């Protein structure tokens, strides 16, 4: 009897966030991590994978794979994606995707020309509460949406030691709040609300120990009269047993009711005219990172290749996130609204 096909995955990178990728892939019976690449090969060897490399091209020359999982900083993306294109291998790439829009567009066009899939590991839209809020909006339970606000409060940005324990390179990033973190919520807003027709941004740096911005407001407006606000401040926290679960709190208001997401991932709904909120019941697992969203995204990708399921987060679609990111920074620099 033929054995079921397994998706053969090779991973690039062993930094802080890669642990969630490895844990996710290794929980899937129909996926096998066949190789790891990292510039420090000793770090790669700690995962117990038989084949370890310190060069992506050398790995792809020697090992036959179905998917390359790129879990490295933006400065490395072009070289890794170029290697995948050269060997005709489909790839999934961590965000931020590339160093700028020009580079991201070039990688996307090259992958399309080569006929390979290139998708972006934008995992926040796979957080179970974001998917659930999307369902609540889709069935019209809140009526016509008028106001949406997400208040990001990670609480890890104060003092000289900000970010050093987990991701120390954050201190040196010239663009932080939006490029590294806010881009997640740009994508979530697109997933939940569609495409905005304008954006206005006001950003600032609160902690002088870092290079980039760590606080600010971004206002999106939509053709249907909806206004959505991303309100971010990495110095402040929010009421949560794990500030990196939801990363903050969210409010959604419509003509029939309002919704509130708290820091414990509880969703509360209040119908218009009622005084009391009701706890909305839904299923999710407090596993790994962000409600197991890395597993959910990786499972989604695996199902595409193993079962021909539709694929979200294609690079060609993700470019719009980077367009919006660049507009946010231009709006802040020029002090004006940008229309699309």
Q: Note whether 67 and 91 are within 8 A (CB).
A: yes
pLDDT along the chain (340 residues), means of 10: 80 94 96 95 86 96 97 94 98 94 96 97 98 98 98 97 91 95 97 98 98 98 96 98 97 98 98 97 95 98 97 96 97 97
Separation between Cα atoms, residue 97 and residue 231, nearest integer Å: 23
Which superfamily does CATH assign the domain made up of 7-124+295-312 to?
Answer: NAD(P)-binding Rossmann-like Domain (3.40.50.720)
Token pair for 259: 């919704």
Would you tell me how many other CB atoms lie within 10 Å of the CB of residue 52? 19
Q: 8-25: per-residue pLDDT in tens? A: 999 999 999 999 999 999
CA nearest neighbour of 133 among 1, 321, 259 = 259
Q: Please tell me whether residue 20 adopts helix, strand or coil conformation.
A: helix
CA nearest neighbour of 63 among 19, 17, 32 = 32
pLDDT at 38: 94
Separation between Cα atoms, residue 287 and residue 174, nearest integer Å: 32
Token pair for 98: 């590339």
pLDDT at 2: 56
Q: Cα–chain-centroid distance for residue 143?
A: 28
pLDDT at 47: 86
Separation between Cα atoms, residue 217 and residue 309, nearest integer Å: 37
pLDDT at 46: 86
Fold observed for domain 125-285+321-339: Dihydrodipicolinate Reductase; domain 2 (3.30.360)
Domain positions in the chain are 7-124+295-312, 125-285+321-339
**pTM for this structure?**
0.95
pLDDT at 3: 59
Q: At what angle do helices 18-26 and 293-307 cross, to 10 degrees?
A: 50
Separation between Cα atoms, residue 175 and residue 178, nearest integer Å: 7
pLDDT at 260: 98
Would you tell me how many other CB atoms lie within 10 Å of the CB of residue 113? 9
């Amino acid at each position: 009897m033929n054995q079921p096909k397994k998706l053969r995955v090779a991973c690039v990178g062993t930094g802080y966030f890669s642990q969630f990728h490895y844990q996710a892939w290794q929980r899937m019976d129909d996926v096998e991590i066949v190789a790891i690449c990292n510039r420090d090969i000793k770090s790669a060897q700690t995962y117990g994978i038989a084949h370890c490399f310190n060069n992506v091209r050398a790995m792809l020359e020697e090992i036959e794979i179905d998917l390359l999982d790129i879990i490295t900083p933006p400065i490395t993306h072009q070289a890794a994606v170029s290697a995948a294109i050269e060997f005709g291998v489909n790839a999934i790439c961590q965000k931020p995707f590339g160093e700028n829009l020009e580079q991201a567009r070039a990688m996307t066009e090259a992958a399309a020309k080569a006929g390979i899939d290139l998708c972006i590991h934008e995992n926040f839209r796979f957080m179970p509460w974001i998917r659930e809020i999307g369902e609540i909006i889709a069935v019209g339970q809140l009526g016509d949406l008028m106001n949406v606000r997400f208040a990001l409060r990670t609480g890890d940005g104060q003092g000289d030691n900000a970010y050093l324990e987990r991701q120390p390179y954050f201190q040196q990033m010239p663009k932080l709040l939006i490029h590294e973190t806010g881009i997640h919520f740009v994508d979530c807003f697109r997933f939940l609300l569609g495409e905005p027709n304008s954006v206005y941004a006001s950003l600032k740096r609160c902690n002088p120990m870092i290079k980039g911005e760590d606080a600010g407001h971004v206002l999106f407006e939509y053709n249907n009269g909806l206004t959505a606000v991303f309100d971010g401040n990495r110095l402040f926290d929010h009421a949560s047993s794990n500030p990196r679960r939801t990363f903050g709190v969210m409010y959604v208001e419509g003509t029939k009711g309002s919704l509130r997401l708290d820091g414990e991932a509880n969703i509360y709904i209040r119908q218009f005219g009622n005084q009391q909120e009701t706890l909305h019941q839904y299923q999710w697992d407090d596993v790994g990172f962000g409600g197991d969203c890395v597993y959910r995204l990786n499972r989604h990708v695996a199902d595409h290749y193993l079962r021909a399921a539709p694929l979200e987060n294609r690079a060609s679609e993700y470019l719009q996130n980077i367009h919006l990111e660049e507009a946010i920074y231009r709006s802040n620099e020029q002090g004006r609204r940008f229309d699309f």
